[in-house]
Structure 1
Amino acid sequence: MKKLFTLITLFILAQNATAQKNELRQIADSINAEGEMLYHSEWASGHSTQIFTSSFGRKKLLSGGYFSYETKKGMTTIFFSKNEDLVVLATVKFDHGLDSSKYSIDTTTRKFTENEKEYYTIRSKAAKVILNDTLFKFYQNTSLNLVPIIKNGTKKVYVITAQTAPNEVLLGNDYLINFDKDNGIIKKTKLHNNLIPLGTGGQDAIKASSHQHLGETSPFITATDICAFKLWKAKTTWVISFVVSAGYVSAWYFDDESLEIFTQAEFEKKMKNK
């Protein structure tokens, strides 16, 4: 009977461990997908700004901002006017391959589409709230990028600290604003407790980077972390980046852009067996 009890106990523990691994795998896949979506938007916005500024600098001065969104054909970025009678000043499009040399730009002034009005509405509400809510911090020599995302009926705006120095990756000082179906703000979340500058390696090759998530910060890597890693991947010497919390270790691999999440106990065991 004692032997049977031991076997049953071991079976239950094995089942629980498998269930936890599957749950962490699902969480990792979800975060990685969100990071990819965020990266597409930031990539399109960055390259579109360069194109618009270099070729149509005078018209760019009339712009009050921009945002990007995904379509069935790829990524679209629009630049809108400053005045109250809002119009689109320019439209830049990339296909899903995200090749910066393959794009179209249309500088014909036009009205917003209904879809673009939704993006503009949540973006403009986010822009107002970050100026009036002490939750949002501003650091010297940085700016905050607004990234509106609408997908499967969910509306949100990520607020990300813009990169400034060429030899460091900025993580943290990022936020998520969630909206209801009527574009009302329902939640504001601080994703990191502070701003985290990480050296890219330069002449002294750094193979791994790491930072901690403490307090109310998510115990897992964030979509904004992954977005930053993908945006600045070519400028670093990293092969892996770790995010360490009280209970978990997230590992993002730069070669195949995959993500694994381990429990602390599992990660420590993995390191001992290396």
Structure 2
Amino acid sequence: MKQITAVLFIVMSLMISAQENKYSEKEFQQKLDSIKAEGNLLYSHEIASWNSGDLMAANKKLHEIAQSYLTYKSNDTVKTVFLNKDQNLVVAEYSFKNSQRKPVRENMQHRKPNQTELNINKIRSTVISQLSDPKYEVGVPEGYNLNIIIVPINENYKVYLIPGTSQSGVIPFGNDYLFITDKEGKITSNQRFHSRLIPAFTQGENGTLTMATHSHLRTNPFISATDICTFKLYAPLTKLEEFSVYSPALGIYMKYNYKKDSIEKTKDPL
């Protein structure tokens, strides 16, 4: 029996090595660098939305007239604009650079939405109208919400849905989606990065946790851009600095540290 077990272990190890060796070290690192860049892009959008929302809420006059918001990148700046009830006027605009928490510019002068804002608002509305289709399996557990991030790619769009929560001590991994749309907002393909919500609770029975780990589906073997974005948003509210993802398809962990903005491949999550 011991010999059989040993043989099985060797076979499994060889299978894992074969899967991992599909990528050269250079290709593997390029893949991680690309994912990290996309994660940072998503984070720059979402942190701008967070900070703009706080500023809007603190402005009583603006809070009364602002009904919805759009966040998008313009050159080296990420902008969040708030629209009025009829969505025909921008009533506030906040501009951010380098994911800083304070805007480099605030504009409270009312104006008509520009073409970029009209396009993104159209894509947002069109995508949302399609999400009730059961084939996309979009749902939101109690105590959580879904935030939408829209990124233009050539004439099409990437539309991400990532979870959010107001609960303290929780990092809401999972329940994240990517939709690719045409220029009119019609969904042409979709992807789920996780099968469900995987909340990482940073307070355990034995005190504060310093590490978070979760596993990915074999169909999603790499750490995801949504993982990185979510962690960068919530980790500063905790004592965690890094998290890891286990890839059953590759037989390894990928560990991300938000202070270093680095991903490393490892056999050990700690």
TM over 0.5: yes
Count of residues in Structure 1 that have an aligned counterpart in Structure 2: 247
TM-score by length of 1: 0.81
The corresponding residue for 1:122 is 123
Q: Note the C-alpha offset of 1:155.
A: 1.1
Matches within 5 A, 1:100-111: 100-111=101-112
The correspondence for 1:253, drawn from 245, 254, 257, is 257
Q: Which amino acid aligns with 1:140?
A: E
Q: State the alpha-carbon separation in 1 of the partners of residues 189 and 21 from structure 2.
A: 33
The corresponding residue for 2:40 is 36
Q: State the alpha-carbon separation in 1 of the partners of residues 202 and 124 from structure 2.
A: 31
The corresponding residue for 1:209 is 212
The correspondence for 1:200, drawn from 194, 199, 202, is 202
| 1:68 aligned onto 2:71 | yes
**Secondary structure of 1:46's match?**
helix
In terms of mean alpha carbon deviation, does 101-110 or 73-82 score higher?
Answer: 101-110
| 1:150 aligned onto 2:119 | no
Q: State the alpha-carbon separation in 1 of the partners of residues 158 and 75 from structure 2.
A: 20
The corresponding residue for 1:78 is 81
Residues 148 and 156 in structure 1, CA contact (< 8 A), matched pair in contact too: yes
Q: Which amino acid aligns with 1:228?
A: T
Q: Which amino acid aligns with 2:178?
A: L
Q: State the alpha-carbon separation in 1 of the partners of residues 259 and 62 from structure 2.
A: 40
The corresponding residue for 2:224 is 222
TM-score by length of 2: 0.82
Q: Note the C-alpha offset of 1:17.
A: 5.5
**Secondary structure of 1:121's match?**
helix
Q: Note the C-alpha offset of 1:122.
A: 1.3
Q: Any gaps of 5 or more consecutive residues in structure 1?
A: 1-12, 262-266
The corresponding residue for 1:240 is 242
Q: Note the C-alpha offset of 1:73.
A: 4.2
Q: Note the C-alpha offset of 1:78.
A: 0.8
The corresponding residue for 1:160 is 162
Residues 127 and 185 in structure 2, CA contact (< 8 A), matched pair in contact too: no
Q: State, as a whole percentage, how many aligned pairs show the same letter.
A: 28
Residues 48 and 21 (structure 1), Cα distance of their counterparts in 2 relative to 1, 3 Å cut: same
Q: State the alpha-carbon separation in 1 of the partners of residues 254 and 131 from structure 2.
A: 29
